[in-house]
Amino acid sequence: DIQMTQSPSSLSASVGDRVTITCRASQDISKYLAWFQQKPGKAPKSLIYAASSLQSGVPGKFSGSGSGTEFSLTISSLQPEDFATYYCLQYRSYPPTFGQGTRLEIE
Amino acid sequence: EVQLLESGGGLVQPGGSLRLSCVASGFTFSTYAMSWVRQVPGKGLEWVSSFRSYDGSTFYADSVKGRFTISRDNSKNTLFLQMNSLGAEDTAIYYCATERYCSGDSCHWDHYLDFWGQGTLVTVSS
């Protein structure tokens, strides 16, 4: 199985900050990488697919980059509604595997 | 608007069975591969199973293989997950999600798990 190592596991930031979360795959997954946002008590929400494509309706403050084994999610100009947990997911091969998650908290 | 509505969760004793359902609307259900993903409350996400629409292929996580069965009824726009021999480790919120759009004999590679239901909680306890 492909392992996804996500870092950091938690992150404190302030409103207006820009933050970056990274995911590393244990083998080449090309661009088969998605990012999700999850708020407490809610289902995950798709933000990015194919490593860098923005999901419809998602604001442009979210951006994804990378290919192969190294990927990142950047969130610019943090607003209170952005504080949540973020997950990466590889879907290059079954079983699809998630990163451990990054909890983004208000500093 | 895409909607996925799961049901069937609840409290079940160890060794018991449960059948989850996910009713879909707002898209052509038969053209999508569908998945189940679970989450222990307060923990991370774990993919459970997928059903590829165009050829009927099914896929399972090792942790549920041989105990869970995924199926679908395209005439009723419904995805199912039959769960047998349940253990405490299966306690989780179970989400259904659209996996990929498939047409002809292949699936689009890029979009993945675009839409999710609200989840249904399964608790395995005596």
- Confidence grade of residue B53 (pLDDT, cut at 50, 70, 90): confident
pLDDT tens figures, B71-122? 999 999 999 999 999 999 999 999 999 999 998 888 899 999 999 999 999 9
Place of tokens 């933000």: A47
Using alpha carbons only, give the angle B49, B54, B59 rounded to the nearest 5 degrees: 20
Q: Quick check: B47 contacting A, CB < 8 Å?
A: yes
The number of angstroms, rounded, from the C-alpha of A72 to the middle of its chain's C-alpha atoms is 7
What does the pLDDT look like over A17-40, one tens digit per residue?
Answer: 999 999 999 999 999 999 999 999
Length of chain A: 107
Q: Which residues on chain B are in Cβ contact (under 8 Å) with A34?
A: 112-113
Contacts 24+ apart (CB under 8 A), A50-57: A50/B109, A50/B110, A50/B111, A53/B110, A55/B114
Q: Which of A45, A50, A87 sits opposite B110 (nearest CB)?
A: A50
Q: Tell me how many degrees the CA angle A66-A7-A34 measures, rounded to the nearest 5.
A: 45
Whether B98 and chain A come into contact, CB under 8 Å, resolves to no
Residue, of B55 and A68, whose pLDDT is higher: A68
Tens-place pLDDT, residues A61-73: 999 999 999 999 9
The answer to whether the beta carbons of residues A88 and A2 sit under 8 Å apart is no
Question: Residue A67: in which H helix or E strand, if any?
Answer: strand A62-67
Tokens encoding B8: 């069937």
**Long-range contacts made by residues A43-49, C-beta under 8 angstroms, separation at least 24?**
A43/B95, A43/B116, A43/B117, A43/B118, A43/B119, A44/A87, A44/B37, A44/B45, A44/B95, A44/B113, A44/B116, A45/B116, A46/B113, A46/B114, A46/B115, A46/B116, A47/A73, A47/A86, A48/A73, A49/B110, A49/B111, A49/B112, A49/B114
Q: Does B9 touch chain A (CB under 8 A)?
A: no
The answer to whether residues B83 and B68 touch, using CB atoms and an 8 Å cutoff, is: yes
* pLDDT surpassing 90 at residue B54: no
- B85 interface with A at CB cutoff 8 Å: no
> Percent of chain A, pLDDT > 70?
100
